[in-house]
Amino acid sequence: MKYTQGQFMITEKTAIAREIYSFSIACPEVAATACPGQFVHIRAKGFTLRRPISICGIDKEKGTLRIVFEIRGEGTSEIAKLNKGDLIDMLAPLGHGFTVDTTYNKVILIGGGIGTPPMLPLAKTYGNKAITISGFRNASAVILQDDFHSTGATTILCTDDGSAGIHGFVTQPLAELVKKGGIDAVYACGPMPMLKNVAKICKENGIFCEISLEERMACGIGACLGCACRTVRNDNEYFAHVCKDGPVFNAEEVIW
């Protein structure tokens, strides 16, 4: 894992939904090595702990990263105060990303709520081989659907209350697609109950499934062992760490 820490210029800031912001950040050395599924660890002024935010876009030519994050508490609220032209302090890129296999013909990318952003770089990688299923609470929480569409992916939208797209959870269209067959892999990020159900459907149908997890974190690089996650490796229980062993895990390794 190669990572650096430094101050980088925010080149674009937009509010894309209620309390959800998108930053573009000029950081050529980070963009050069970043992979889909990795995250950046951002310093919030006045706070001891950095905040891990998943990478939503990697433009190696322009040397920029895009992040999309939601205000969850005081730390992310502080980060959201930064504006275009300000410097953002990042330790990045961090973590173990998604396994990309170019021989796959059909993959499903599932994002739930603020778990949707990390699926975008993966959609770009797979292009028209990808079907994206995004789930949100309601129409006003929907983000990134145009971005997914422009990658060439087939997009499916669900909302819990039916105010946009399919009325229901992401597992509904997933189960239908799986039934039709031909799915090589499923990748998912979102709330734990969603990930658990996605993992269950994939396991029952023998489909390769990777999920991206979230945990309260301190160092971000595997030194402090703060972000433990119970997994099974070689038949033994293993306390992996979301920052270094993850955030992306094979769904079958995770003890739910």
Q: Using the minimum distance from each CB to other proteins, give the nearer residue, 87 or 224.
A: 224
Min dist CB 43 to other proteins, Å, is 7
Neighbours of 203 (CB within 10 A): 12
Binding to other proteins (CB under 8 A) within 91-120 occurs at 91
Residue at 185: amino acid letter: A
Contact between 184 and other proteins by CB under 8 A: the answer reads: no
Shortest Å, Cβ 232 to other proteins: 12
> Which residues in 1-60 contact other proteins (CB under 8 A)?
1-5, 43, 47-50
Quick check: 134 and 142 in contact, CB under 8 A?
Answer: yes
Quote the least distance from Cβ 73 to other proteins, whole Å: 8
* Residue 71 within binding range of other proteins, rule CB under 8 A: no
Cα 183 to Cα 77: distance, rounded to the nearest angstrom: 39
Q: Based on CB atoms, which residue is closest to other proteins, 48 or 102?
A: 48
Q: Are 251 and 195 in contact (CB under 8 A)?
A: yes
User: What are the beta bridge partners of residue 236?
Assistant: 233
Cα–Cα dist 4/6, whole Å: 7
Distance (Å, whole) CA 30 – CA 233: 30
Residue 194 or 243 having the CB closest to other proteins: 243
Q: Give 76 or 145: the residue with its C-beta nearer to other proteins.
A: 76
User: Is 234 in contact with 210 (CB distance < 8 Å)?
Assistant: no
Angle among Cα 114, 117, 120 to the nearest 5 degrees reads 155
Q: x/- binding map, residues 201-240, to other proteins, per CB under 8 A?
A: --------------xxxxxxxxxxxxxxxx------x-x-
The residues of the shown chain that bind other proteins, judged by CB under 8 A, are 1-5, 43, 47-50, 74-75, 91, 215-230, 237, 239, 244
